[in-house]
Structure formats: structure tokens, C-alpha cells
Amino acid sequence: MSDTATGAADGDRSRALWSSTAAFTACFAVWTTFSIIGVQIKKDLGLNDTQFGLLVGTPILTGGLIRLVLGIWTDQYGGRIVYAGVMVSAAIAAFLLTFAHDYPTFLLAALGVGVSEGSFAVGIAYVSRWYPKDKQGTALGIFGAGNVGAAVAKFLAPVVMIAFGWKTVAEIWALGLIVRLAEQTAVLASLRHLATCPFVAERVVTGGLALHGWYFHFGWGVLQAATGPRGPLWQVDAHGPLPAALGAGAQLSEAYA
């Protein structure tokens, strides 16, 4: 068993877990926000459905591809450093999004925003190393609850966008990431054990992990399709965010129409 898992105090473990979960929540909010503000960007640029689909899908593509690299870097350099790099990169991309002026620059910004989704791979590797095997399931379950960041984005981003414009959404999310990073850096720097032992490497070679990865991507893709700006479970109009019909017969509606 890892020295980190056996030697870390419960207080250190809890602080590492909750700080990482909060950071993951913030990153996920940034990652999914693009599907909301993209609706107004589509109108501003006069994009067709194909262009809009590519724009909204670009952060998802980036997030899926960059996980492998970030996971390797987490093993090599440690979760704290890589997590900080992810959050800084995502914050910069979100802020620079406000300076995009045409379709290619928006696509470029979307690529940068997608980096925030890589926080999942970093957090899973980092949090796992704080806990022995018999407690990893609970710890990773708590960390995975950071997916609620998607709900935060879908509820709050439309309100802010209608009130102040989509650029304000990007600026607020960028600032929120920096604030979250500062707090996380202070918390993790105070921990006595840095969780550097490769505690979950043995799971990488199993087919179960690969199967879980495919399941996660498929399940999350279905959720995004259902709750995105064109999905049947969510609708936003000029009066603010409104839950659309939840029944199986709910029809797709034009967002912000």
C-alpha cells in the first residue's frame, strides 16, 4: 500500500478531496458553458447549424483528447502542478474568448476552453493517491459529484447572459477559476503529504477501466444531447431560463427564440 495512503491524516485527505472536487466543479462549469453562450454567438456571427455544431463540439473534443496527456503528466509531475496548469489555461482561454471576432478565432478559443474538462483525469489520479483501496470508491464518488458544475453552468450562465451579455459570462467564469485556483493552491500547499506515489497505475492495464471510459463518454454524451441548448430538457427564452417539458414526447425547441 502507498505510503501516502497509509501516512496521510484524515484531515489532509479530506482537504485534498474537497478542494479537488471544488476545482473540478469550477472546471466543468467552464467546459459546459460554451454550449450556452454559443447560442448567442451563433446569432451574432450568423452561423448555420453545421458551423454551430462544430463550435459547440470543439471543447468536448479537446477535453476528450487531452485527458490522456494530462493523466500522464499527473503521474510525472504531480496533481497539484498539472491541476494548476489546467485551471490557468482554461481561465486564459475563457477570458480571451471575449476578444474573438470571427468564426476561426471562436473555434480557437473553444479549443482552449476544452482543456478544462481534462481536470477530470487529473483529479481522479490525484485523489486516488490519498486513499487506500478500500476507500477509493467513496472518495472518487465524491469527486465525481463535481459534474454538478454542468448544472451550475446551465442554470446560471443563461441568466447572466440575458442580463449582461455572453462576454460577461466568460469573464465571470475566468475570474471564478482564478479565485478557485488561488484557494486550492493554498489548501494543497498546507498538506503534509503530497500524494506522489503511483497508487492507481495497476488499474490502467485492466480492460475494466477502458470499458468504464467508453461508458462514461457515451453516458455523458447522451446527457449533453438531452440538456444542451437544443435538447428536449432545457429551453431558454427572452424571459429567462425555463425548464422545458420533461416527458418523452417533449419536442426540440429553438433556444433563445
What pLDDT score was predicted for residue 232? 41
Q: Are 132 and 5 contacting, i.e. CB atoms less than 8 angstroms apart?
A: yes
Would you state the pLDDT for residue 60? 84
Q: Structural domain boundaries of the chain?
A: 3-201
Q: Which residue ranges in the chain fall short of pLDDT 70?
A: 1-9, 192-257
Give the pLDDT score at 193: 54
Q: What is the pLDDT of residue 68?
A: 84
* The predicted structure's pLDDT at residue 221: 52
Spatial CA neighbour of 188 closest among 10, 2, 14: 14
Please give the distance of CA 167 from its chain centroid, rounded to a whole number.
19
Q: How far apart are the first and last CA of the chain?
A: 57
The confidence score (pLDDT) of residue 10 equals 72
* Fold of the CATH domain 3-201: Growth Hormone; Chain: A; (1.20.1250)
Task: Give residue 194's region: left, alpha or beta (phi > 0; psi -120 to 50).
Answer: alpha
What pLDDT sits at residue 133?
84
160-206: pLDDT as tens digits: 888 898 899 999 999 999 998 888 888 877 776 555 444 433 343 33
Instruction: Confirm if 177 and 27 have CB atoms less than 8 A apart.
Output: yes
For residues 69 and 40, give the distance between their C-alpha atoms in angstroms, rounded to a whole number.
Answer: 32
Burial 93-104 (b: 16+ CB within 10 A, else e): bbbbbeebeeee
pLDDT at residue 243 in the model:
38
Task: Kindly report, residue by residue over 198-229, the tens digit of the pLDDT.
Answer: 443 334 333 444 444 444 555 555 455 444 54
- Cβ-based neighbours of 123, under 8 Å, separated by 6 or more: 20, 21, 23, 24, 79, 83, 143, 146
For residues 116 and 91, give the distance between their C-alpha atoms in angstroms, rounded to a whole number. Answer: 8
Compute the distance between CA of residue 48 and CA of residue 133 in angstroms, rounded to an integer.
Answer: 50
Cell triple for residue 60? 468536448
160 vs 173: CA distance, rounded Å:
11
Partners of residue 240 on adjacent β-strands: 237
Residue 125 three-state SS: helix
Question: Is 195 buried (19+), middle (13-18) or exposed (0-12) by CB count in 10 A?
Answer: buried
Exposed/middle/buried for residue 238 (C-beta within 10 Å: 0-12, 13-18, 19+): exposed
How far, in Å, CA of 102 to CA of 94, rounded? 16
> The dihedral of CA 220, 222, 223, 229: what is its sign?
positive
Identify the DSSP state of 251: P
- Report pTM: 0.70
For position 220, what pLDDT does the model report? 52
